[in-house]
């Protein structure tokens, strides 16, 4: 994000471009469906930031032969951090009032990372999907601010070093900027195919967008003759169309960042270049209209306040009750006067008041560091204290009872719930900790073994992360000597694949899957269990049921004929993380139940049940009755997130699995 710069070189067209960028983001976050690509507004801001900062830095190098680092960082701190810190503070206070205690942990963690200027890496480490997160952090929008802050720290030093190494020839620095853009863009393309969150949130894979703005700054300093022609103005219109088109045509399914990001980035570059032209063909007059100037002026504060304005009310009513569009748009409108107040009474005074101007750079930086430290330490202390506070109704239920059909569902969140709500996200299969489960880029197809009874039938579990969530139940049987388990699982990579997935050979998923099948064919196990997130595998298919039927048939044809094949019915999809919902409804578990027809895909289940040549094991009746599926059964928490079983509940399903699997094992061995 960038804040307006009021200097003699102030450009109204860039102010208007800020308005377009922030409106794209705000309307996208408000749920306006036709703006499925509104997130590209952030990319527009990146290019603007790179242009403005590089213009300033190159000017300093040409004029003074150096950059005054303390003054530069102090000036950036005064412009960016006061409003940022204020929104962090008010967001935390509002969260204490309206957010459930489990989500408050997420809020405090986000506040600490934000205060340390690295929130983007928090979301990268957590594997956040910015375009499809069901319960996003109230500080998730700070990821872009983190990238810009990190850029501001490194960019002056890089340009200064290049300037000195190239014997103080500013024009040659342009080649360094170009090199940064090319290397960063290549890194983006490489990383996005392996880990989209890291490509989305990290500075090295996003720096090219800011560097493109830097290239524009370097170009305009040379004042080429064609800038004054109608070509530059007309190209700016093309750029404007490109930015708007990206906002309307991109969706959460668009591969991003990557090649598609070129559309808004190059479009913004064309707009900035065209705005520097004096030709009447430029869209600068449109961007300079008073409403555009107003929104552009408050764009930084509007970006900061609009997201918590959306998320805190949503959290208060529960993410299982999405706010209607008229409410989210109303909240977006309400964000405008709040943003103006922030701009008028926080941004402007810290940037332009005589007292702020008199403050030394050292004093500004010391105050900034102290404020960051206070916010981070306070958030961490509150987080540690909060984690010691149990989240439950305070009442217990009888523990350790065998699971039954239909499930026994308490009306409240038991104090002896296992795992506890705070521990749910980490209650995971051992295959994640021991490296057996392959991540998005993994290709190791050897699997891992459980059980030491060499006379026991061999069971190969094969699938995506949903297969991994079943490992605890199968492993319990292996440890009891009833089977030998070979676990083969990889994130977002099914053992059953649709035709569209099979049309992408050479990916880590395709390579891993082919290698597993090759190994199974070379040494056929007694049982092969296919477990997949079926709904994800057929997403985007015109006929999901037929695509799944064809995929299963293709997989059965590839597997060894000597093995008995079993298909595991998929676990329920609760839509959101149940622990978050339960933390807000400690006395009413039913508020977090999901209709059976919504939680289970009957079309895909029917395909699996009716498949010739495979058995079907369905344990969902231990979670769901005829009407709904519950996130709490007895004293067990069913899912650690929207659709992955907790390790504890999977283990509790072992007796039910044993009964069904051993009959298939007997058939496989001909007994």
Q: Are residues 462 and 374 in the same domain?
A: no
Does 459 score more than 90 pLDDT?
yes
Q: Are residues 194 and 57 in the same domain?
A: yes
Q: What are the pLDDT digits (tens) for 515-571? A: 999 999 999 999 999 999 999 989 888 899 999 999 999 999 999 999 999 999 999
**Residue 273, pLDDT score:** 92
**Residue 91, pLDDT score:** 97
Q: Are residues 47 and 126 in the same domain?
A: yes
Q: What are the pLDDT digits (tens) for 263-310? A: 999 999 999 998 887 667 789 899 999 999 999 999 999 999 999 999
Could you count the other beta carbons within 10 Å of the beta carbon of residue 129? 14
Q: Are residues 205 and 313 in the same domain?
A: yes
What's the whole-model pTM score? Answer: 0.89
Q: CA–CA separation, 51 vs 55, rounded Å?
A: 6
Name the 3-class secondary structure at 330: helix
Look up the domain containing 484 and give its range. Answer: 428-572+600-618+646-669
Is residue 292 within 8 Å of residue 15, measured between CB atoms?
Answer: yes
**Residue 280, pLDDT score:** 73
Q: Are residues 491 and 612 in the same domain?
A: yes
Q: Are residues 614 and 498 in the same domain?
A: yes
Written as one string, the DSSP assignment of 50-82 is HHHHHHHHHHHHHHHSS--HHHHHHHHHHHHHH
**Residue 501, pLDDT score:** 74
Residue 558 lies in a domain: yes
Instruction: Choose the final residue of a domain: 334, 361, 385.
Output: 385
**Residue 3, pLDDT score:** 45
**Bridge pairing between strands 448-450 and 484-489:** antiparallel
Give the chain's mean pLDDT. Answer: 92
Instruction: Choose the final residue of a domain: 363, 385, 407.
Output: 385
Name the 3-class secondary structure at 222: coil
**Residue 221, pLDDT score:** 86
DSSP assignment letter at 540: T
Please state, in angstroms and as integers, the Cα–Cα distance from residue 199 to each residue in 190, 212, 217, 257, 510, following that order.
Answer: 9, 17, 25, 7, 21
Q: How confident is the model at residue 6 (pLDDT cuts 50, 70, 90)?
A: very low
Residue 393 lies in a domain: no
Element holding 633 (H helix, E strand) = strand 632-633
Structural domain tally of the chain? Answer: 2
């Amino acid at each position: 994000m960038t804040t307006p710069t009021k200097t003699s070189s102030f450009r109204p067209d860039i102010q208007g471009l800020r308005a377009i960028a922030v409106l794209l983001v705000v309307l996208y976050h408000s749920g306006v469906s036709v703006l499925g690509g509104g997130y590209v507004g952030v990319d527009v801001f990146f290019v603007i930031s790179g242009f403005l900062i590089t213009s300033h830095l190159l000017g300093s190098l040409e004029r003074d032969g150096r950059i005054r680092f303390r003054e530069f960082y102090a000036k950036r701190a005064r412009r960016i951090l006061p409003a940022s810190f204020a929104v962090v503070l008010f967001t935390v206070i509002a969260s204490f009032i309206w957010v459930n205690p489990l989500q408050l942990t997420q809020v405090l963690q986000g506040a600490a990372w934000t205060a340390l200027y690295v929130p983007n890496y928090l979301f990268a480490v957590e594997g956040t999907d910015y375009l499809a997160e069901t319960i996003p952090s109230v500080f998730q929008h700070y990821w872009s601010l983190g990238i810009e802050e990190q850029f501001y720290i490194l960019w002056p030093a890089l340009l200064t070093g290049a300037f000195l190494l190239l014997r103080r020839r500013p024009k040659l620095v342009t080649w360094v900027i170009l090199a940064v853009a090319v290397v960063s863009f290549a890194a983006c393309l490489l990383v996005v195919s392996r880990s989209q969150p890291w490509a989305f949130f990290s500075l090295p894979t996003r720096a090219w967008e800011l560097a493109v703005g830097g290239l524009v700054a370097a170009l305009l300093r040379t004042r080429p003759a064609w800038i004054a022609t109608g070509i530059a103005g007309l190209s700016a219109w093309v750029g404007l169309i490109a930015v708007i088109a990206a906002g309307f045509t991109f969706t959460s399914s668009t591969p991003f960042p990557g090649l598609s990001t070129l559309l808004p980035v190059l479009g913004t570059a064309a707009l900035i270049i065209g705005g520097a032209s004096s030709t009447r063909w430029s869209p600068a007059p449109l961007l300079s209209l008073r409403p555009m100037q107003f929104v552009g002026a408050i764009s930084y504060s509007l970006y900061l306040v609009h997201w918590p304005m959306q998320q805190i009310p949503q959290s208060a009513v529960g993410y299982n009750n999405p706010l209607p569009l008229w409410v989210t748009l109303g909240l977006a409108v309400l964000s405008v006067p709040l943003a103006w107040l922030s701009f008028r009474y926080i941004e402007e005074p810290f940037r332009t008041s005589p007292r702020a101007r008199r403050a030394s750079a050292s004093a500004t930086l010391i105050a900034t560091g102290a404020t960051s430290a206070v916010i981070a330490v306070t958030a961490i202390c509150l987080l540690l204290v909060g984690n010691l506070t149990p989240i439950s109704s305070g009442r217990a239920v009888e523990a350790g009872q065998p699971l039954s059909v239909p499930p026994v569902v308490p009306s409240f969140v038991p104090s002896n719930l296992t795992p506890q709500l705070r521990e749910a996200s980490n209650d995971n299969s051992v295959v994640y900790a021991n490296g057996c489960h392959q991540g998005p880029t993994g290709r190791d197809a050897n699997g891992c073994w459980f059980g030491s009874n060499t006379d026991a039938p061999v069971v190969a579990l094969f699938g995506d992360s949903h297969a991994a969530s079943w490992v605890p139940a199968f492993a319990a049987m292996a440890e009891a000597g009833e089977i030998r388990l070979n676990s083969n699982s990889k994130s977002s990579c099914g053992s059953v694949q649709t035709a569209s997935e099979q049309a992408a050979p050479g990916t880590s998923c395709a390579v891993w899957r082919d290698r597993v099948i090759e190994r199974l064919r070379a040494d056929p196990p007694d049982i092969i269990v296919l477990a997949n997130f079926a709904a994800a595998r057929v997403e985007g298919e015109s006929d999901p049921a037929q695509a799944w039927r064809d995929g299963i048939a293709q997989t059965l044809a590839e597997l060894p004929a000597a093995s008995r094949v079993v298909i595991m019915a998929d676990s329920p999809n609760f839509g959101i993380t149940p622990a978050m919902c339960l933390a807000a409804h400690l006395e009413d578990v039913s508020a977090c139940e999901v209709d059976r027809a919504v939680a289970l895909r009957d079309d895909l289940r029917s395909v699996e049940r009716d498949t010739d040549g495979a058995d079907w094991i369905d344990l969902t009746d231990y979670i769901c009755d005829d009407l709904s599926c519950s996130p709490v059964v007895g004293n067990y928490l069913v899912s650690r997130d929207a659709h992955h079983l907790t390790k504890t509940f999977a283990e509790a399903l072992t007796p039910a699995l044993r009964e069904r699997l051993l009959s298939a094992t007997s058939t496989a061995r001909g007994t």
